[in-house]
A = this chain, B = another copy of it.
């Protein structure tokens, strides 16, 4: 068995069933992790999961190789909620809804957003989303090679946007670090930044998100055509 698939065989089927305690299982661990991630402080850890499951940290290693494997499982489980749309819809609206759904799901927690680009997403749900994206781009008339690269760039962008969103890096906030820094720049040292300081902090998160998607779509569609 040279390369096992961490996503198959979701239940290792604990043979042991102790009287008053539900047996551990991979699903139970992932579920608890997901619960922690979208709860209180949003932080997840093997030890907290173990405590919540009323056991010790070492017990989890029977069902999960590694923290990184658990993270991959959690990420894919979270991607369950991403809506992919129907085949019949016009591609442009469908694409925007899909990407928005993707970013929204990842924005649920800073931890989740961070997971999204520090672990390469290759689980059933990531594949489902990739399949839908390829379908949409094909309908938009994008070349297969371009489309293959585009889904990479789109996932990456959504993850990055979600991370920014979830980390609370809102430039519009009155005490935001960027606002403080921007307001400190002098007109002589950085005239253009100084002049653009209003624009830099303008727009709601929603507006900037829509603009980002638009830039992405325009760029991808015009890829392959000659420059104007």
Q: How far is the CB of A109 from chain B (nearest CB, A)?
A: 14
Tell me if A's interface is mostly helix, strand, loop or mixed.
helix
CB neighbors of B among A169-228 (8 A): 169, 175, 177-178, 180-182, 184-185, 189-193, 195-196, 199-200, 202-203, 208, 211-212, 214-223, 227-228
Give the CA-CA distance A147 to B200 in the complex, in Å: 9
Q: How far is the CB of A224 from chain B (nearest CB, A)?
A: 10
Q: How many copies does the complex hold?
A: 2
Sample (9) of A-B pairs whose CB atoms are under 8 Å apart:
A134-B193, A147-B196, A148-B196, A148-B202, A149-B199, A214-B219, A215-B220, A216-B219, A218-B219
Please name 14 further chain A to chain B contacts, defined as beta carbons within 8 Å, in addition to the given A127-B189, A135-B192, A148-B199, sorted by A numbering: A5-B184, A122-B178, A131-B192, A147-B199, A148-B196, A148-B200, A148-B202, A149-B211, A152-B208, A160-B160, A215-B219, A215-B220, A219-B219, A221-B228
